[in-house]
Chain A
Amino acid sequence: MSRARRVVYRVVPPALTVVVLLLCWEGYVRLTGVPRRILPAPSAVGEVLISDAAILRDQAWVTLVETALGFALAMIVGLGFAMLIDRSALLRRAIYPLLVASQTVPSIAYAPLLIIWFGYGILPKVLVVLVYCFFPVTVAALDGFRATDPDLIRLFRTFGASGRQIFTRVRFPHALPAVFSGIRIAITYSVTGAIVGEYVGAAQGLGIYIQRQKNSFAVDRVFAAILVVTLLSVGLFALVALIERLAIPWHVHAASPDRPV
């Protein structure tokens, strides 16, 4: 199959699904005459997207910055924990249960505390994103480190390689495909983390925007903002997938839905 045909093959079916759904939605709203403040038609949401483009862009930018900062921190913290735990069984026993516990606390419960401590600025949102995202990276990296072929490690020991040399030359690169699996999971959480952080209190951002529009029954604006949030998430996911392809070209992962398993 040619490249162009492959693209068509991949893009057309989901696009068609979306178009059909939108048409049904539009038709339903027009036929039943549901009020716009309950369920706006797609065309109404489209109008808002155009008329409020500048506001939405500014709010999206704030959310994007929070997400990006939190996510970058989550990568550092996530890999850091994984490397720390990987070093000793004692650290693993000491730290790992706490990491798991940190994931069981609902973010909506502790997010208000962060507002009390750090105010309405960017920091509490960054922290929520961090807590949301580091764990999949840690777990994936740990699995990756541990899955390294023991024969490969023995071979490197015969070269006289130190533990650090074996880590940097063998175990870390070996773990990268697994790490990227964790990153792909984490990136889908990341925007949600920022939105939750904004929900409980913020000056700016898509989360607080949605909150305000909801309170004034501007459902069309809520829909418009949700669409922007979705685009943001999908865009970040695509970016990670691109970085993955560039970073580990030797590894073809089986996550693509078109690839037979």
Chain B
Amino acid sequence: MSEPLGVRVAGLSKGLRQAGGVLPVLDNLTFDVPPGRFISLLGPSGAGKSTLLGILAGLDAPSAGTVTLYGSGGPRTGPLLGQVGYMPQRSLLLPWRSALDNAVVGLEVRGVPQTEARAAALALFREFGLSEFATSPPAALSGGMRQRVSFARSALAARGLLLLDEPFGALDALTRAAMQEWLLGVWERLATTVILVTHDVDEAVLLSDTVYVLTPRPARIAHQVAVTLPRPRLLESTATPEFAERRAELLAALRAAGSLADGTRREVAR
């Protein structure tokens, strides 16, 4: 299996061309995610988090700056597309394919033989608690199960670095909690690098080694918090004093960055 990849982001900026000028979205972001780490990008909606993931995935070009993947053998060259796994917020499973056939599309596109691809997917399905759903159509799966299949699909497509774009944002609170614990277990076994985009403070603390707090648009890194909660973590980890401290630190950083102020909503309330 492939080794986890690190990613070095240097001086990354992005502006979106609009009527009447350029809207700055990302402002000179620099950070380094070592191989095998789980980091979160925490910021308000519309901060440009998804734009950043689009650039890291190779879908969009930055206005300035560089993104470099690296492994134990040094920097990786070649396009990011096809090297970085990307999991969108919606599961986006193809309704005409079974769960397993959905999971193999990334390998299929790369030309991996059918039997080999299916064997790899089945192994992952066993690991993910999905075995009994392999032949089910997506319509027969719950929201949480669909996200697991979606995660398996992205992990199979590129195991070294996974970008998760608010993967649990659309789930109800209990399902989300269950999925967070599931992801903790899966990540500890997969040995992969994960960059998670979220606006959920608790989720960021529970899952991550490091949390970067982003400012409202244009996104800059306002603060960086290292979470040293021991692993393996469970949902019960959220009841520890250290969790509460990190949470308080992040909330303070969000407030200082202006990410907790929502002027428009307050005006409406009045």
User: Which residues of chain A have a CB within 8 Å of any CB of chain B?
Assistant: 149, 151-152, 154-161, 165, 169-170, 173, 248, 250-251
Contacts and interface: CB of A to CB of B under 8 A. Distances in A.
A248 B105 contact: no
B76 interface: no
Interface in B82-104: 82-86, 88, 90, 92, 94-96
A151 B88 contact: yes
Contacts, number: 54
Given A149-B92, A173-B94, A250-B137, A155 B109 contact: no
Contacts of A159: 82, 105-106, 109-110, 157-158
Contacts of A154: 54, 59, 88
Interface residues of B, number: 27
Given A165-B109, A250-B137, A158 B92 contact: no
A251 B92 CA distance: 15
Nearest to A251: B95
B96 A173 contact: yes
Nearest to B95: A250
Closest CB pairs A-B (n = 6) = A160-B82, A158-B86, A250-B95, A159-B106, A161-B109, A159-B109
A250 B84 contact: no
Contacts of B59: 154, 157-158
Contact of B105 (A149, A151, A157, A169): A169
A127 to B, nearest CB: 34
**Counting chain A CB atoms within 10 Å of each CB, which of B54, B85, B109 scores highest?**
B109
Interface in B137-162: 137, 139, 154, 157-158
A145 to B, nearest CB: 16
A149 B93 CA distance: 11
Contacts of B86: 155, 158
23 contacts: A151-B92, A154-B59, A154-B88, A155-B86, A155-B88, A155-B92, A156-B109, A157-B81, A158-B82, A158-B86, A158-B154, A159-B106, A159-B158, A160-B81, A160-B82, A161-B109, A165-B109, A170-B94, A173-B96, A248-B96, A250-B95, A250-B96, A250-B137
Given A152-B92, A169-B109, A173-B94, A158 B58 contact: yes
A160 B59 CA distance: 10
Contacts of B83: 160
Q: Is the interface of A mostly helix, strand, loop or mixed?
A: helix
A151 B109 contact: no
A158 B81 contact: yes
A156 B92 CA distance: 10
Contact of B109 (A160, A173, A248, A250): A160
B52 interface: no
Given A165-B109, A169-B105, A250-B139, A158 B85 contact: yes
Nearest to B58: A158
Contacts of B5: none
A160 B158 CA distance: 10
Contacts of A169: 94, 105, 108-109
Contacts of B90: 151
Contact of A158 (B57, B96, B108): B57
Contacts of A157: 59, 81
A160 B81 CA distance: 5
B61 to A, nearest CB: 13
A84 to B, nearest CB: 24
A248 B94 CA distance: 12
Given A159-B109, A169-B105, 19 more contacts: A149-B92, A151-B92, A154-B59, A155-B88, A155-B92, A157-B81, A158-B82, A158-B84, A158-B85, A158-B86, A158-B157, A158-B158, A159-B106, A160-B79, A160-B109, A161-B109, A169-B94, A250-B95, A251-B95
Interface in B54-83: 54, 57-59, 79, 81-83
A165 B157 CA distance: 15
A245 to B, nearest CB: 14
